[in-house]
Amino acid sequence: MRQSDLFPKTKKGEIRDAVFANHIYLVKAGFIDQLMSGSWTLLPLGWRVVGKINQIIREEMNAIGAQEMLMPLLHPSSVWKETERWKKARSIMYQIKDSLGKEFGLAFTHEEIVMDLLRKNIQSYADLPVYVYHFSTKFRNEPRARSGILRGREFLMKDLYSAHISENDLMEYYEKVKSAYCKIFDRLGFSYRVIEASGGVFTKNYTHEFQVPVDSGEDLIFYCDSCGWGQNKEIFLGKEGDFCPSCGKGRVLSSNAIEVGNIFPLGTWFAERMGVYYIDKDGKKKPVWFGSYGIGPTRTMGAWVEVSHDDKGIIWNKQMSPFDAHLVLIGEGKVREKAESVYLKLKKVGFDVLFDDRDVQAGEKFADSDLIGIPVRLVVSESVQDNLEWKFRNSSKKEILSFDAVVRRLKA
Ligand code: ATP
Ligand code: MG
């Protein structure tokens, strides 16, 4: 991609009302644009990052047998009245009427919709288990938040739903999903904690939150400095410095954190309210056991910026970066010709390269490169002659490498 063609260009100066790093840098660098509070366009750069996150999630969902589909966002009120969430979730759900007075809700989650699907398509134990997921928009009437893309009134979620014949079967799959979520956040490069949280009205079991510790996070978590135990502030009854209630050896620490994922073993609460039954081997009618599992890809992108930036801009890793390398041309004439040929050759080898071919000052190009945050910067200039200057975004070390050496390193 030629930077001269990239829409939009980076922004100079202050971003109004922006306090969080993700808000400041994602807007300045041209990844996202705010339409109104909590409502964001994912611009071409941002959409590339979210695409990379989604692909990793998709691979790990498919690896545990889940099938991708797509459910609607406009729901009849009737289905939400069956569980009484039409009333209970009124403060979070956008509820609207059409010109004939018919009531609809905008999707803030999809349990009721999956339940409706299941009761139309499940008869016996042979039809279970079912694992289905989608990536789609959720609408939530969030109180006005200033945390950038971390809290949207409209945001992307990957939500997986599973239905089972028994609690055992549900809990076995629940553990599989937990491992898959760990793989996802490992592959994305996060330091994170798996934190126990309350199951609310749905289940006596714990639910689990995937939390990224960072000062700017809205949540407060408690965790052991020695084992993997952790709980959120809603359920932890002790205090910082206590011995770990799980291993007894470590001490409890606390941290602010951003919740990027949450998994719920929901049990039979939904099946009982919506009449989702199957006929078991013994000929008896039984309610379906149900779980739901969510990750917010847009919040995940924002969380990365919160944990990985400096005073110049974003520092992406290889997994999430919108491009494999940022090729920067410094010079004119023969140097431009050389940069053009390097760009075409890198593309031909299969790399996704952002090529700063613009006719602007070197200082501005380097500042933009740091702001956008692609992990590898390659400079073509008079002084490197037939070679390229390689620099990682998170290091000041510059190395002069041949084209072939650059290709080998980018492939590594
Ligand atoms: P929070 O407590 O932060 O409001 P939640 O617990 O209500 O979030 P869930 O219903 O568990 O959120 O949703 C699953 C995932 O969707 C979250 O872990 C998060 O990654 C994402 N998510 C939830 N709300 C938002 C939002 N308003 N904007 C962006 N992502 C969100
Ligand atoms: Mg949650």
Most informative mutation of 138, 220, 295 for ligand 1 (most atoms within 8 A of CB): 138
Measured distance CA(368)–CA(117) in Å, rounded: 48
Q: Once rounded to an integer, what is the mean pLDDT over residues 67-72?
A: 98
Given a cut of 90, is residue 164 above it in pLDDT?
A: yes
Q: From edge to edge, which strands make up the β-sheet containing 353-356?
A: 353-356, 325-330, 376-381, 388-392, 398-401
**Do 252 and 153 share a structural domain?**
yes
Task: Please give the pLDDT value at position 144.
Answer: 77
Structural domain span for residue 230: 21-72+107-310
**Do 261 and 334 share a structural domain?**
no
Task: Please give the pLDDT value at position 201.
Answer: 87
Given a cut of 80, is residue 262 above it in pLDDT?
A: yes
Task: Tell me which of 278, 310, 342 is where a domain ends.
Answer: 310
**240 within 8 A of 268, measured Cβ to Cβ:** no
Q: Atom 2 (ligand 1): residue with closest C-alpha?
A: 259
**Do 116 and 229 share a structural domain?**
yes
Measured distance CA(31)–CA(38) in Å, rounded: 15
Task: Please give the pLDDT value at position 49.
Answer: 99
> Is pTM, for the whole model, over 0.85?
yes
**Do 219 and 336 share a structural domain?**
no
Q: Once rounded to an integer, what is the mean pLDDT over residues 53-59?
A: 99
Given a cut of 90, is residue 61 above it in pLDDT?
A: yes
Q: Label residue 330 by pLDDT band (50, 70, 90).
A: very high
Q: Atom 11 (ligand 1): residue with closest C-alpha?
A: 262
Query: Over the stretch 366-412, which tens digit does the pLDDT of each residue have?
Result: 999 999 999 999 999 999 989 999 999 999 999 999 999 999 999 99
> 3-class SS at 166?
coil
- Does a structural domain hold residue 119? yes
Q: What is the DSSP letter of 75?
A: E
Q: Label residue 7 by pLDDT band (50, 70, 90).
A: very high
Give the amino acid at 22.
N
**Do 189 and 268 share a structural domain?**
yes
Q: What is the DSSP letter of 150?
A: G
What spacing in Å lies between the alpha carbon of 246 and ligand 1's midpoint?
A: 27
Task: Please give the pLDDT value at position 212.
Answer: 98
Q: Once rounded to an integer, what is the mean pLDDT over residues 163-190?
A: 98
Task: Please give the pLDDT value at position 146.
Answer: 81
Give 100's contacts (C-beta < 8 A, 6+ positions apart): none
Q: Atom 26 (ligand 1): residue with closest C-alpha?
A: 151
Task: Tell me which of 279, 310, 341 is where a domain ends.
Answer: 310
> Whose atoms come closest to the Cα of 296: which ligand?
1
> Whose atoms come closest to the Cα of 140: which ligand?
1
Per-residue tokens: 268: 């039979």
What spacing in Å lies between the alpha carbon of 197 and ligand 1's midpoint?
A: 14
Query: Over the stretch 235-251, which tens digit does the pLDDT of each residue have?
Result: 999 999 999 999 999 99
Q: How many helices (H) and strands (E) does the chain have?
A: 11, 23
Whole-number average pLDDT of the chain: 97
Query: Over the stretch 191-218, which tens digit does the pLDDT of each residue have?
Result: 999 999 999 888 889 999 999 999 999 9
Task: Please give the pLDDT value at position 64.
Answer: 99
CATH code, 387 = 3.40.50.800
Given a cut of 90, is residue 256 above it in pLDDT?
A: yes
Measured distance CA(369)–CA(380) in Å, rounded: 14
Q: Atom 12 (ligand 1): residue with closest C-alpha?
A: 262
What spacing in Å lies between the alpha carbon of 296 and ligand 1's midpoint?
A: 6
Measured distance CA(155)–CA(109) in Å, rounded: 11
Q: Which residues in 68-84 are b (16+ Cβ under 10 Å) and which e?
A: eeebebebeeebbeebe
Task: Please give the pLDDT value at position 143.
Answer: 87
**Do 131 and 156 share a structural domain?**
yes
Query: Over the stretch 341-362, which tens digit does the pLDDT of each residue have?
Result: 999 999 999 999 999 999 999 9
Q: Label residue 259 by pLDDT band (50, 70, 90).
A: very high
Task: Please give the pLDDT value at position 406.
Answer: 98
**Do 288 and 352 share a structural domain?**
no
Q: Once rounded to an integer, what is the mean pLDDT over residues 305-320?
A: 98
**Do 281 and 332 share a structural domain?**
no
Q: Label residue 105 by pLDDT band (50, 70, 90).
A: very high
Q: Label residue 26 by pLDDT band (50, 70, 90).
A: very high
Task: Please give the pLDDT value at position 203.
Answer: 86
**Do 171 and 45 share a structural domain?**
yes
Q: Which atom of ligand 1 is nearest to the CA of 152?
A: 28
**Do 271 and 164 share a structural domain?**
yes
The residues lining ligand 1, judged by C-beta closer than 6 Å to any ligand atom, are 140, 142, 151-152, 155, 157, 259-262, 294-296, 298-299
**Do 277 and 356 share a structural domain?**
no
- Does a structural domain hold residue 298? yes
* C-beta atoms surrounding 24 within 10 Å: 19
Task: Please give the pLDDT value at position 106.
Answer: 98
Q: Which atom of ligand 1 is nearest to the CA of 153?
A: 27
**Do 363 and 287 share a structural domain?**
no
Question: In which element (H, E) is residue 272 found?
Answer: helix 269-274
Q: Atom 13 (ligand 1): residue with closest C-alpha?
A: 294
